[in-house]
Structure 1
């Protein structure tokens, strides 16, 4: 026994062993805990909701519960409550929807369900026991219907996207040339709300009529349709901006009227929850229609950097737990509302780069804490995460040197430098949904790069480094760059890939980053030159180290056109479109206001009114190519086209896009078009379009004059040209003759060269042999010296007069 644990009180003649006392005290405490009455928290495990399921025809809901022996022995009945949207478990003023005898084992509550009421799935179910004072004590937390997709309007598969490359698109045609596949568009709910029936369209949700602003909806329709037709996948960021004409009840009760960029939506009352659900359900229903009338958008980000309750999602200085609970309510509401329209709709929350906060009372909640709270309270909601991992210092272009973003779970900031900290959290058991990590996107990221300075090149390199970081991370589904054009309102930071002119957000100069964005997801042989030029600016030693194993399968095939037909374009011509009867599904695709059919010289043509928004931007029309086999069998595609403008000439582009072998392909045909006269342009597509699927065709022009009050694009017909068989046969025969003659000439030349070589060898051999003979004669002279003693030798000597 350690002497330190024994205290001798000699004055009283008592020796006390402290270790034994401590052990006895611990045993006593444990016994008291075991004998004490079960608390409400402990009793929650006595009865548990195991499932909330709809019947096959969705006219009733069954709530399955398990009751323990301990609960059954201390309670007579178990009660079920049906709670309205937004209620987190407060039972005051509510009466039970049903009750059963508290018998140990399994039990099922069955309630009627109105499947025509879209608010019904927003209700939750909570079990409770009697509290002995005429009230009820909740057991556990509210539970929701397990599978609401049984109520979904549509269930078609979600589109598959082949690249992670994204951009906050401002210039649609430029985005297509860059190969952009994702974008985020901000939609303010305050813009959509309306209280004037004359300026609004009405819709019904849960037996209540709501109004949506016609003008705002029309602009949103155009934007989503245009981006969808451009092959760009859209994330709709649902935010709430300040509007004096909007009802005050839209805003979070504690929100302060400041210059905040966005505000928290009010879900403090069931009617407010229903209102939010109504508008989200309307948007999801409109933009996931399989007909594609308004385009497609099936992904919705709820709020902007929601963990910042003081600024980007202003909720004032409200209690942190209450605020996060309200965020969880809105997230669940959005998920339910969207999936009632489309079963595969996707919902995301948005967080900033603040990963942990040093001060408990900080106005910004650490993203890590916020996400763990949401996952705990929305464990049955398949929400994803949109994170904005900017450097800790926004002007720091070389973010890989950011000392505040470290490779540790305790890091204060989360940037592209330590993105793995974020995705590691998604793999944590506490964050899983149905046993799998949640979806994640880089919803916004940018680096400062001022045109004409060293930071411009560093920005380009930094983009590539960040893009490949995301591309090599399996949990990241999209990487979205912020911005397309520099914005003067961002505190001097130049995030754009173009500089801006004096006109607000009008592009002026192309920056170095643009060529990098265009190249990063191309196949290796098409991107190597661009990528190799960046290595010296980055903390990598090779292009292979930079790109890693990123799946880059996009191809771009460039073709130059001509106004004169080539030899392969003079044969058979197959009319693809002649516009004699209709527009053949052509539509005003890019910066085009409308289309109409006109006639000139008894020949119909398609006319598009163009909107010239920027010198770098193309304008034009497009259509879907339903039969790609016809195009693949042609040698040329020709288009008879005219631009009406004060300009002398404009740039013309014919774009064919499609999918091949799992990757995207762009056939990019360019030419110059003389204005104000009909011109037939020929493009030798050859094998470029072979094997393409899901093809689209775009006809664009760029340029015009400042004098143009109206700029028109006219198209009268589009043809597929195949080679003239007889001409092709003659060219093949001629080619064979040329090859034969060339071969014969080569053989004759070879024979001549060989013969000459042989003659030279014989001459050298003969000469070499004569020399050897003379050498042998010289060598024999010492032995054949003529003397009077050698008569034979004397006979061989020439006459004396010849010596």
Structure 2
């Protein structure tokens, strides 16, 4: 176990003695509209019913240099939590869940640059040169798996137990775009079957930890838009086809004793820099499609109806947990982005197997490879402070309201349709 100095704050939260197990069913939201939230008040004004919140587990785990630490017991061992970080999560989660928004935690970890901590949290097969953004969770060692389990138990006890006072969480998204692990869940150079096995350990551990506090909160696998192809130019031992990875994962889960898991898909356009997703050439309506983008969401929903993927006789659920459309620096850029959202929303409405569209981003971010995906522009001279609302903002706000049909009509000739009814269902 990672040995840390005694906490400066001696509060002790017991995993075993925390909030009672919540037996409420997973809520049925009255809208699929969601957002990765940066500004809580603005998100609520937009009428969202789903919210994605990033959680950096490396920041959640306290070390000897952390100013305010809280003791937490898991499996008769004590771990220390960064209290300031936990309270920052409270400030995001509680006002959203109090307003009836379904909150999903996106579980990731960035290298902390604290050698003792990283040795425990980062998977030992992650590239030694550190050429990645996010490494995989350490599911390879007993110490690593214990620490991961303890951190998830802390989150579940705090946010998913009965009468959780810090806010309510209903979804746990494990990692990020794990089929393209070279950047987003680095496991070094390993074949797809081994990568799926390591990921299955993390998802199962998450599921089991969450189940101690909630009978019906959900765990999700995270994939990007590459379906029957992998990211070009990357080794096949660091990037995989989503379909192949998903099927390997499902087979491993069945072999170890199946459990409830669902899918968080990221259906960005073929070209992330082109908002005309209705023109995607690599998004086919068939199972052999190279990509799954907004254009062919029906491929994802059909695939989850396969008998070998069902859970208790029903298809596992899909959420779209990260995706957006770029605003081009052209005279028609804002019109194309808004029209693209109208197209996306109408596609989504026709997919009963998809529960949520969690938009990325709330505000542009200047360090996101030049992409401008936000409902807000960035304030000049800042990285992600809100500048002005784009026209897309008003349209997003009207989604799932009586004003939608009239507001979205302008987009039909832009996307080359006479009626939204031309769009395919599952």
Q: Same fold (TM over 0.5)?
A: yes
* 1: CA distance, partners of 2:347 / 2:219: 24
Residue 31 (structure 2) pairs with residue 163 (structure 1): yes
Which position in structure 2 is the counterpart of 1:269?
141
Which position in structure 2 is the counterpart of 1:251?
122
Which position in structure 1 is the counterpart of 2:95?
226
Q: Deviations over 1:213-262 (max 9, x none)?
A: 11111111111112223432111000011111133121111112435221
Residue 407 (structure 2) pairs with residue 530 (structure 1): yes
Residue 188 (structure 2) pairs with residue 313 (structure 1): no
1:392 and 1:402 in contact (8 A); partners too? yes
1:284 and 1:298 in contact (8 A); partners too? no
Q: Aligned match of 1:496 in 357, 374, 383?
A: 374
Equivalent residue runs for 1:32-431 within 5 Å = 153-196=21-64, 199-245=68-114, 246-256=117-127, 257-357=129-229, 361=236, 363-379=238-254, 380-431=258-309
1:250 and 1:272 in contact (8 A); partners too? yes
Q: Deviations over 1:594-639 (max 9, x none)?
A: xxxxxxxxxxxxxxxxxxxxxxxxxxxxxxxxxxxxxxxxxxxxxx
* 2: CA distance, partners of 1:422 / 1:158: 22
| TM-score normalised according to structure 2 size | 0.88
Compare relative contact order (CA 8 Å, sep 6+) and give the higher one, 1 or 2: 2
* 2: CA distance, partners of 1:173 / 1:117: 32
Which position in structure 1 is the counterpart of 2:5?
none
Which position in structure 2 is the counterpart of 1:446?
324
* 1: CA distance, partners of 2:383 / 2:224: 27
SS of the residue 2:343 aligns to: helix
Equivalent residue runs for 1:307-706 within 5 Å = 307-357=179-229, 361=236, 363-379=238-254, 380-450=258-328, 453-502=331-380, 503-523=382-402, 526-542=403-419, 545=422
Instruction: State the Cα RMSD in Å.
Output: 2.3
SS of the residue 1:235 aligns to: strand
Q: In 2 relative to 1, CA 191–543 (structure 1 residues): closer, same or farther, beyond 3 Å?
A: same
1:161 and 1:181 in contact (8 A); partners too? yes
1:357 and 1:364 in contact (8 A); partners too? no
Q: In 2 relative to 1, CA 412–161 (structure 1 residues): closer, same or farther, beyond 3 Å?
A: same
- TM superposition shift of 1:292: 4.3
* 1: CA distance, partners of 2:364 / 2:336: 16
- TM superposition shift of 1:168: 1.3
1:443 and 1:480 in contact (8 A); partners too? yes
Larger Rg: 1
- TM superposition shift of 1:362: 5.2
Q: Deviations over 1:48-79 (max 9, x none)?
A: xxxxxxxxxxxxxxxxxxxxxxxxxxxxxxxx
SS of the residue 1:464 aligns to: helix
Q: In 2 relative to 1, CA 351–330 (structure 1 residues): closer, same or farther, beyond 3 Å?
A: same
- TM superposition shift of 1:348: 0.4
* 2: CA distance, partners of 1:265 / 1:543: 43
Which position in structure 2 is the counterpart of 1:690?
none
Equivalent residue runs for 1:776-795 within 5 Å = none
Q: In 2 relative to 1, CA 330–165 (structure 1 residues): closer, same or farther, beyond 3 Å?
A: same
2:346 and 2:420 in contact (8 A); partners too? no
Q: In 2 relative to 1, CA 320–527 (structure 1 residues): closer, same or farther, beyond 3 Å?
A: closer
* 2: CA distance, partners of 1:450 / 1:485: 15
Q: Mind listing any 5+ residue stretches in structure 1 that lack a counterpart?
A: 1-115, 119-150, 550-803
- TM superposition shift of 1:505: 1.5
Which position in structure 1 is the counterpart of 2:6?
none
2:57 and 2:107 in contact (8 A); partners too? yes
1:460 and 1:512 in contact (8 A); partners too? yes
* 2: CA distance, partners of 1:186 / 1:417: 27
| TM-score normalised according to structure 1 size | 0.48
Q: Deviations over 1:684-735 (max 9, x none)?
A: xxxxxxxxxxxxxxxxxxxxxxxxxxxxxxxxxxxxxxxxxxxxxxxxxxxx
Which position in structure 2 is the counterpart of 1:597?
none
2:29 and 2:49 in contact (8 A); partners too? yes
* 2: CA distance, partners of 1:267 / 1:505: 34
2:20 and 2:161 in contact (8 A); partners too? no
